Amino acid sequence: MKSGKCPKCGSTEVYTKRSGMQSGYTVGMGFANTKHMEADDYICMACGYFEQYLVDVSSKLKDLPSKWKKAGQ
């Protein structure tokens, strides 16, 4: 999707905007510990599929691996 091609229908009519769909997300890291995150939003104009990618994950959420459960385990 970031490349400009929809992974669902193959269209290249994909548009992106930072915080285009929502002004941000609150990510829970534990009691009284939350992070406000922005996302880059991608929408396919052909089929309506959309994706979101949080911005600055590696710096802002560097503590997340010790707070969240690793997927697939």
47 is a site residue for Zn ion (CB under 5 A): yes
- How many residues bind Zn ion (CB under 5 A)? The answer is 8
| DSSP H/E element including 60 | helix 57-60
What are the CA-CA distances from residue 60 to residues 16, 22, 29, 39, 42 (Å)? 22, 18, 11, 12, 21
16 is a site residue for Zn ion (CB under 5 A): no
1 is a site residue for Zn ion (CB under 5 A): no
Residue 3: closest CA among 47, 39, 48, 53 = 53
45 is a site residue for Zn ion (CB under 5 A): no
9 is a site residue for Zn ion (CB under 5 A): yes
Residues that bind Zn ion (CB under 5 A): 6, 8-9, 11, 44, 46-47, 49
